[in-house]
């Protein structure tokens, strides 16, 4: 028998995991059938008391390479660990899939030790000397940022090496921003601009780059840099001292024609690069929070939040012109505060603040929901649409099977999604598989 496995604890962990999943699933079903179940009747998950011992076993199993046994004996869960390991948890930003098996993700966002990993069923590989990666809307080109600048690589391999199609140096980017925003603190004034990044989206085969930084959203080409958000006129009108954003977000349509962006203080912004026009739409709820395009380049989905809830609308791009003051765009979901979204064959998957995924079709009907256990930070679907990678604020990267026939007995949700594997990407730790 494996020396690392404490069978009595593992059995308790499994039984409690099954019991909790059963109870929550029954509770959700009742709610969806229109009943008003009483949340106080839900008995809490008692696994947190075992979390330190369980996590010790996860580490040991990784050292011994006993991963199949680990998943069988100690099914992965985030929720019970969150109390004991809160300080180790960090946001995981899944960037893209290189192929059906390998995805790319960022950790250590906003810190001096930002890291990029490629992940597949053999584990994680750290990619140095870069500290942040981004991916084009069509999944082909990767932007790799480090202290000197950003390189754009076409269809890289597992080490993120490949044909370099463009390079952008920070000193050039910062000099251009400086000349257009001389009196405002911006990305130009950051000693380590690569540590302020939340998103990098290469466009036009590397000829343009959308930079989403804590210090603003910028459209960069080889010839110029444009601050898209916050808007220069707004900075002057409200006498802002810097370009810092709260809840900034940005998206690019697959064909590169449309940009969508915003932040807590703005409207939903849409830019048509073909006509060089920018539109501003009223949010349905208080604060713009997220934007995503459908992969047919026809619609943009906008989420606006209020506390931990929110409303998501769908806006057909061809209807925007002349309808900017319209306040009744179709509502696709009216409860999720959305942190990430990605389109699958079944519909748009929205990831929310409570750790739920909601799949919503083009008519605004919920297809399924699935609980992953902590606030969702990022979502990417594999090229053949067989897998969904989910990065959370709990430091987890979940790989879910979109084609599974049924959920496992620890799963919480209304669909058939099954977790294939999971990586634990915690501060100051080597990645662990679970």
List the beta strands (DSSP E) in 170-308: 197-203, 208-213, 216-221, 225-229, 249-252, 258-262, 268-272, 277-281, 287-293, 299-306
- Quote the tokens at residue 223: 């010839």
Q: Residue 87 burial by CB count (10 A; 0-12/13-18/19+): exposed, middle or buried?
A: exposed
d(CA 302, CA 300): 6
How much is the pLDDT for 308?
Answer: 81
* Dmax (CA) of the chain: 70
Q: 318 is written with which tokens? A: 């061809």
Tokens representing residue 94 in the block: 């899944």
Characterize the bridge pairing of strands 208-213 and 216-221.
antiparallel
- Whole-number pLDDT of residue 364: 96
Query: Is the CB of residue 358 less than 8 Å from the CB of residue 382?
Result: no
Distance between CA atoms of residues 421 and 145, nearest Å: 28
Helix (H) or strand (E) holding 432: strand 432-433
Q: How many Cβ atoms are within 10 Å of 9's Cβ, its own excluded?
A: 17
pLDDT of residue 1: 56
Q: Kindly state the DSSP code that residue 43 receives in the 8-state scheme.
A: P
Beta strands in 110-229 (DSSP E): 115-120, 123-127, 132-135, 141-145, 149-154, 163-169, 197-203, 208-213, 216-221, 225-229
Host H or E run for residue 107: strand 103-107
Q: How far apart are CA 349 and CA 302, in angstroms?
A: 13
Residue among 403, 344, 408, 397 at smallest CA distance from 374: 397
Residues lower than pLDDT 70 in the chain: 1-2
């Amino acid at each position: 028998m494996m020396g690392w496995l404490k069978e009595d604890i593992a059995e308790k962990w499994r039984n409690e995991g099954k019991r909790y999943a059963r109870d929550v699933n029954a509770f959700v079903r009742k709610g969806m059938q229109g009943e008003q179940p009483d949340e106080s009747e839900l008995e809490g998950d008692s696994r947190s008391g075992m979390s330190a011992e369980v996590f010790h076993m996860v580490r040991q199993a990784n050292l011994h390479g006993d991963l199949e046994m680990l998943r069988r004996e100690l099914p992965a869960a985030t929720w019970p660990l969150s109390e004991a390991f809160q300080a180790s948890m960090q946001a995981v930003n899944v960037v893209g899939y290189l192929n059906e098996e390998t995805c790319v993700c960022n950790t250590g966002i906003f810190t001096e030790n930002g890291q990029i990993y490629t992940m597949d069923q053999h584990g994680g590989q750290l990619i140095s000397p870069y500290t942040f990666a981004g991916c084009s809307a069509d999944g082909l080109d990767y932007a790799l940022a480090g202290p000197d600048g950003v390189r754009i690589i076409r269809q890289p391999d597992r080490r993120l090496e490949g044909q370099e199609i463009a390079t952008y140096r920070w000193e050039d980017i910062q000099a251009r921003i400086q000349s257009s925003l001389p009196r405002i603190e911006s990305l130009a004034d950051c000693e380590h601009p690569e540590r302020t990044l939340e998103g990098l989206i290469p466009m036009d085969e590397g000829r343009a780059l959308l930079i989403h930084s804590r210090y603003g959203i910028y459209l960069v080409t080889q010839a110029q840099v444009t601050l898209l958000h916050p808007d220069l006129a707004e900075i002057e009108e409200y006498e802002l001292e810097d370009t810092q954003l709260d809840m900034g977000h940005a998206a690019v349509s697959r064909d590169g024609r449309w940009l969508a962006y915003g932040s807590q203080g703005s409207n939903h912004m849409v830019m048509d690069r073909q006509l060089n026009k920018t539109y501003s739409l009223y949010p349905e709820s208080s604060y713009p929070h997220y934007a995503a395009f459908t992969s047919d380049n026809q619609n943009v989905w906008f989420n606006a939040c209020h506390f931990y809830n929110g409303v998501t609308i769908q806006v057909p791009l061809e209807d925007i012109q002349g309808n900017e003051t319209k306040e009744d765009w179709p509502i696709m979901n009216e409860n999720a505060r959305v942190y990430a979204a990605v389109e699958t064959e079944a519909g748009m998957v929205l990831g929310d603040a409570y750790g739920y995924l909601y799949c919503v079709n083009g008519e605004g009907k919920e297809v399924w929901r699935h609980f992953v256990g902590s606030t969702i930070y990022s979502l990417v679907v594999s090229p053949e649409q067989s897998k969904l990678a989910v990065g959370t604020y709990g430091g987890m990267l979940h790989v879910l099977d979109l084609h599974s026939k049924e959920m496992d007995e620890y799963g919480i949700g209304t669909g058939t999604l099954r977790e294939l594997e999971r990586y634990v990407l915690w501060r100051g730790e080597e990645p662990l598989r679970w």
